Amino acid sequence: MRVRWNKQSKEQLIRAASYIRHEFGQESMNDFMAEMKRTNRLLEKNPHLGPVEPLLSDLPSKYRSIVVCSYNKIVYRIVDKHIEVTALWDTRREPNNQIEQTINQHPNK
């Protein structure tokens, strides 16, 4: 399966990488991006690797998540023959705000 990042999740990834570079330096950002790529490859081979996201379990779509680099969680769902990354959550932030953004992006799904 192929992993596709939607517009919102790409923007979240760019913001996270920028924050890491600003706060911790280029090498830390490179490590972060390498871990994201590694996780993408893992998901391509094992789409059900991440458990169903408990904070989104009441929704009709099955959202799954996988923690990457301690403070970031990739939220995704399996759609047809690809994996759609719908959000990159900062695990240090208020979950309800992140849930709201994810739900608003796909209100009917």
The tens digit of pLDDT for each residue in 63-98 reads: 999 999 888 999 999 998 999 999 999 888 666 556
**Burial annotation 27-57 (CB, 10 A radius, 16+ → b, else e):** eebeebbeebeebbeebeeebeebeebebbe
Q: Where are the domains of the chain?
A: 2-104
pTM metric for this prediction: 0.84
In the β-sheet with 63-68, what is the strand arrangement from edge to edge?
2-5, 82-90, 72-79, 63-68
Q: What percent of the chain has pLDDT over 70?
A: 84
CB neighbours of residue 22 within 10 Å: 9
Distance, in Å, from the CA atom of 71 to the CA atom of 54, rounded to the nearest integer, reads: 17
**Taking the domain 2-104, which CATH number applies?**
3.30.2310.20
Residue 70, classified by CB atoms within 10 Å of its CB into exposed (0-12), middle (13-18) or buried (19+), is: exposed
